[in-house]
């Protein structure tokens, strides 16, 4: 499966995804540590759930990168442009499919 991305672009995106994953793991640890303080439990739980979800997404992207399917639209199978992935490394869909999903 070809994604239309060069090895240099894939390396840049891999580094971005790994940085994002490290940041989210640290964020999750900070949120869990904050549970000892005076915080709104609902806000804390929502933030923990969001961080957990982002960690899972980043790991899934890294798995797809390793298997060679990262950068392929989950809707139409087209290559997602590097420019879109650079801005949103967790993107699963090309802009056309993303707009369709948002409109539905």
Task: For residue 51, give the CATH number of its domain.
Answer: 1.20.120.910
* Residue 40 within any structural domain of the chain: yes
* Interatomic CA distance for residues 47 and 68, integer angstroms: 31
* Interatomic CA distance for residues 59 and 47, integer angstroms: 18
Domain range for 41 is: 7-103
* Residue 1 within any structural domain of the chain: no
**φ, ψ of residue 35 in degrees (nearest 5):** -65, -15
* Residue 2 within any structural domain of the chain: no
* Residue 78 within any structural domain of the chain: yes
**φ, ψ of residue 26 in degrees (nearest 5):** -65, -40
Number of structural domains in the chain: 1
- Full pLDDT tens readout for the chain, 104 residues: 557 889 999 999 999 999 999 999 999 998 888 766 667 778 888 999 999 999 999 999 999 999 999 999 999 999 999 999 999 999 999 999 999 999 98
């Amino acid at each position: 499966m070809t994604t239309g991305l060069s090895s240099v672009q894939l390396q840049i995106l891999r580094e971005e995804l790994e940085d994002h994953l490290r940041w989210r793991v640290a964020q999750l640890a900070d949120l869990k540590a904050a549970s000892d303080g005076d915080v709104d439990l609902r806000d804390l739980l929502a933030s923990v759930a969001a961080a957990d979800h982002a960690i899972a997404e980043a790991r899934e992207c890294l798995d797809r990168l390793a298997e060679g399917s990262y950068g392929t639209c989950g809707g139409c199978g087209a290559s997602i442009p590097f420019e879109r992935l650079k801005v949103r490394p967790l993107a699963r869909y090309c802009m056309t499919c993303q707009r369709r999903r948002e409109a539905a």
